[in-house]
Amino acid sequence: MASERVHAALPDPPSQSEEENKEEEKAFGNIFAEIEFVDLPLGTTLRSIYDDQPNAHKRFMEKLDARIRNHDREIEKMCNFHHQGFVDAITELLKVRADAEKLMGQVTDTNRRLQEAGREVTAQTEEVIRCRIQQMNMATTVEKLQLCIPVLEMYSKLKEQLESKRYYAALKTMEQLEKFFIPRVSQYRFCQIMAENLPRLREEIKEISMSDLKDFLESIRKHSDKVGETAMRQAQQHRTFNSAVAKQASMGHYTKPLYSLNGRTQTHNGLMMDEDTGDEDEADEEILTAQDLVDFSPVYRCLHIYTVLGDRETFENYYRKQRKKQARLVLQPQANMHETVEGYRRYFNQIVGFFVVEDHILHATQGLVTRAFTDELWNMALSKIIAVLRTHSSYCDDPDLVLELKNLIVIFADTLQGYGFPVNRLFDLLFEVRDQYNETLLKKWALVFREIFELDNYSPIPVDTEEEYKLVVSRFPFHDAEIEKDFPKKLPMSQSVPQIYTQVKELIYASLKFSESLHRSSTEIDDMLRKSTNLLLTRTLSSCLQNLIKKPHIGLTELVQIIINTTHLEQACKYLEEFITNITNVSPETVHTTRLYGLSTFKDARHAAEGEIYTKLNQKIDEFIQLADYEWGMAESDGRASGYLMDLINFLRSTFQVFTHLPGKVAQTACMSACKHLSTSLMQMLLDTELKQISMGAIQQFNLDVIQCELFASSEPVPGFQGDTLQLAFIDLRQLLDLFMVWDWSTYLADYGQPTSKYLRVNPATALALLEKMKDTSKKNNIFSQFRKNDRDKQKLIETVVKQLRSLVNGMSS
């Protein structure tokens, strides 16, 4: 029994089905908890029931029914527990109901009596409220009117300012209205209208001020000329003053204000100083400023207006754009500007006036224009100005006008330099203008030289008295001890020499004028003067001399005088160098000093004149030879030389007498050239292909003429020849004529080719040509020659000689 009790007390081990039931109970418990307490959708929970195991739905429904029965039992227990309290509460409410109805009747009666008693009080209270509201409205109205009156007063003030064109003050008034007054009463319609009108008024002010600015810009275009003229005039006075100060520099440092066109005064040393710090000895002439000539108030006013409106950048851009356009218009020159200096002056005045105004605007306003903007404008203008001046100056052929242009450029550059604009490129341009100036000078001096040469009589200058001599040597550096003793005399040069020398000095003075005020050193000026002088000598004077020498009407006498003149001009070149040195105070020994090239110029001219002398002599000889009228078939000579040849020799004698003033070699060369040309011409006359026949009588006559030529050569027409040098010019003719006159063919043929031959200068071809002419003549003039033995022998001899000469000629050609 004990063992059974023990066994009964111990629980049986759970079977497999019991454990599965517990797990199933736990799973259904979780599902019921989710269904009862979780507000999420139940689709997932319910789906897990059907998807778990077979017959799961049936078991779930069984468990659900058991769960519902449990909940019903709990509800029933709770209702049984609270039922008695609910019954007691209903009983109490039924007792209070009668008292509540009685209280309601009493309250209704009390309310009726109270309404009847307070009806009069209510009427009086409403009257009091109405009066209080009126009183409050009146106070509010007064308060609002006190706020509105200042607004209206300010608006009225704004209208008055607009009518009186006080636009800057009007903008300030608008600003106060918008910031302080209108916001206080912005709820009123009239204030809204005011606020809406203010932007429109601002635009009107902008338009009006812009219109004033446009009028100013148009006005400044008209006044720029006057502003520039005043500035350049004062700059010129400044430059004159500087020259005076430089002369008095040793007396102390004196600084005096010179000119001002922008409220600042320029001193002689280029420093800016206030106008009230000048010396007490200021010029009585009033110093004009830009404000004196131009009213800048429209610019200031418009600038302030746009600044207040917050649109300053727009104004600045507009102003700069318009000024750029005006700058381009100002820089456009008139088509005929180069014709007069006034055209250049107006052009410069307008440009200076433009930049003086811009400089004033730069310093009088803050940022309307900047230094970078003015520099950009100036660089653009400078390039255009240089191009314009380079083009128009090239049209100018008057040196005086070019010099005036240079002076204007210098004043123009000095004026703008005083306002801080860089002008180095303008001074560089002046070197180009200087070249143009030199070209115009050379053209002008070419005309002067031509006129001097045309008016010269090409004869020595007669000097009757010492005063006349001194007058000549004062103009030309000539000294001759013999001439200075006795008068009257004749100077070797002609009148053109001192005139040319004087004109060369005048050109040096003219070149020096251009060099003034160019801020160049003495060495540079000296170099410029020497280069200008060299151009005059090597180009202009040389060209004029060459043209003069080539002129047809210039004869041998004139050519001789030209050679003498160029000799004296060449000797005077050293005095021109001294003249330039005295002007510039630059020693000629300086390393970079340019030398004058006059020596080569006059040597070239002299050589050309010498060559022309030789040419004209030969032409004259040809003219005489053309008068020759030989009778080539004459039997015997006339026994005297031909007339044309004697005239030629007389001409040569008189001509060579004129050559006594020439250097010895020139006269000798001319004489030798003339004799050689005469000899060659006579030889060509004998060998002329058109001449078919020559008789022995013609040879004899020709020989007489050659003898006269030899006599002329031996008479020493020009001193200085050694021995029979001049006669050698006719040696070819002489040997040829001797060969035919003596008829010495055997000797010629035997000695041919020997250096000691008597007829060494006779060419076989020349002898053959002349012999054939004589052979033909012998045949025609001696019809019966075959009947005379001597003539037959002579004819055979000629034929034999001809054959031998031909063989010599053929041998030479082979």
Q: What pLDDT was estimated at residue 284? A: 39
* Of the candidates 576, 609, 560, the residue with the CA atom closest to the CA atom of residue 503: 576
Residue 584: pLDDT over 70: yes
Q: What pLDDT was estimated at residue 38? A: 60
**How far apart, in Å, are the Cα atoms of 201 and each of 171, 198, 309, 740?**
9, 5, 11, 128
One-letter amino acid at 181 equals F
Residue 266: burial class (beta carbons within 10 Å; 0-12, 13-18, 19+): buried
Q: Write the DSSP symbol of residue 273.
A: E
Taking the CA atoms of residue 515, residue 518, residue 520 and residue 525 in that order, the dihedral angle to the nearest 10 degrees is -10
Phi, psi of 490 (to 5 degrees): -125, 130
416 close to 423: Cβ distance less than 8 angstroms: yes
Q: Is the pTM of this model over 0.85?
A: no
Instruction: Quote the crossing angle between the two packed helices 664-686 and 696-714, to the nearest 10°.
Output: 180
337 close to 347: Cβ distance less than 8 angstroms: yes
Q: What is the mean pLDDT of residues 461-478?
A: 86
Q: What is the mean pLDDT of residues 231-240?
A: 82
Q: What pLDDT was estimated at residue 586? A: 79
Q: What pLDDT was estimated at residue 262? A: 45
pLDDT band per the 50, 70, 90 thresholds, residue 590: low
Q: What pLDDT was estimated at residue 289? A: 62
Tokens 């108030």 -> residue: 297
Of 49-53, 397-401, 476-480, 632-636, the least confident: 49-53
Chain centroid offset of residue 306 CA = 38
Taking the CA atoms of residue 120, residue 124, residue 130 and residue 132 in that order, the dihedral angle to the nearest 10 degrees is -150
According to the per-residue pLDDT averaged within each range, which of 80-94, 150-164, 371-385 is highest? 371-385
46 vs 454, higher pLDDT: 454
Provide the b/e sequence for 487-520 (b: ≥16 CB within 10 Å): eebebbbbbbbbbbbebbbebbebbbebbebbeb
679 close to 733: Cβ distance less than 8 angstroms: yes
Mean pLDDT of the chain, nearest integer: 81
Give the Cα separation of 226 and 345 in Å (integer).
11
Q: What is the mean pLDDT of residues 135-154?
A: 86
Instruction: Quote the crossing angle between the two packed helices 556-571 and 573-584, to the nearest 10°.
Output: 40
pLDDT band per the 50, 70, 90 thresholds, residue 53: low
Tokens 């050109």 -> residue: 507
Give the Cα separation of 153 and 529 in Å (integer).
80
Give the Cα separation of 402 and 394 in Å (integer).
10
Structure tokens at 386: 């240089």
Structure tokens at 432: 């180009």
693 close to 780: Cβ distance less than 8 angstroms: yes
Q: What pLDDT was estimated at residue 13? A: 47
Q: What pLDDT was estimated at residue 598? A: 64
Q: What is the mean pLDDT of residues 141-155?
A: 84
Of 135-149, 242-256, 449-463, the least confident: 242-256
Phi, psi of 592 (to 5 degrees): -95, 10
DSSP-H helix ranges across 279-370: 290-293, 297-308, 312-330, 341-364
Structure tokens at 376: 């950009």
Count of CA atoms in the C-beta half-sphere (13 A) of 738: 14
SS3 at position 279: coil
Longest dimension (CA), the chain: 222
Q: What is the mean pLDDT of residues 600-610?
A: 84
Structure tokens at 577: 């160098």
How many other CB atoms sit within 10 Å of the CB of residue 94? Answer: 8
189 close to 197: Cβ distance less than 8 angstroms: no
pLDDT band per the 50, 70, 90 thresholds, residue 679: very high
Q: What is the mean pLDDT of residues 60-66?
A: 82
Tokens 């071809």 -> residue: 765
Helix (H) or strand (E) run with residue 803 in it: helix 789-813
Of 323-332, 618-627, 771-780, the least confident: 771-780
Q: DSSP string spanning 735-751?
A: HHHHHHHHT-HHHHHHH
128 vs 599, higher pLDDT: 128
Give the Cα separation of 208 and 80 in Å (integer).
101
SS3 at position 224: helix
Q: Which residues, other chains included, contact 47 with Cβ-Cβ below 8 Å and sequence gap of 6+? A: none
Provide the sign of the torsion angle of the four alpha carbons 359, 364, 368, 370, taken in this order: positive
Q: What pLDDT was estimated at residue 732? A: 92
Q: What pLDDT was estimated at residue 283? A: 41
pLDDT band per the 50, 70, 90 thresholds, residue 10: very low
Give the Cα separation of 231 and 225 in Å (integer).
10
437 close to 402: Cβ distance less than 8 angstroms: yes
Of 283-292, 476-485, 691-700, the least confident: 283-292
pLDDT band per the 50, 70, 90 thresholds, residue 272: very low
pLDDT band per the 50, 70, 90 thresholds, residue 267: very low
Q: What pLDDT was estimated at residue 104? A: 87
Residue 483: pLDDT over 80: no
Q: Which residues, other chains included, contact 32 with Cβ-Cβ below 8 Å and sequence gap of 6+? A: 63, 64, 67
227 close to 357: Cβ distance less than 8 angstroms: yes
Q: Write the DSSP symbol of residue 56.
A: H
Q: What is the mean pLDDT of residues 13-24?
A: 63
Residue 646: pLDDT over 90: yes
Q: What is the mean pLDDT of residues 752-759?
A: 87
Q: Write the DSSP symbol of residue 259.
A: B
Tokens 């006075």 -> residue: 237
Give the Cα separation of 73 and 283 in Å (integer).
133
Structure tokens at 318: 């507009």
Q: What pLDDT was estimated at residue 97? A: 79
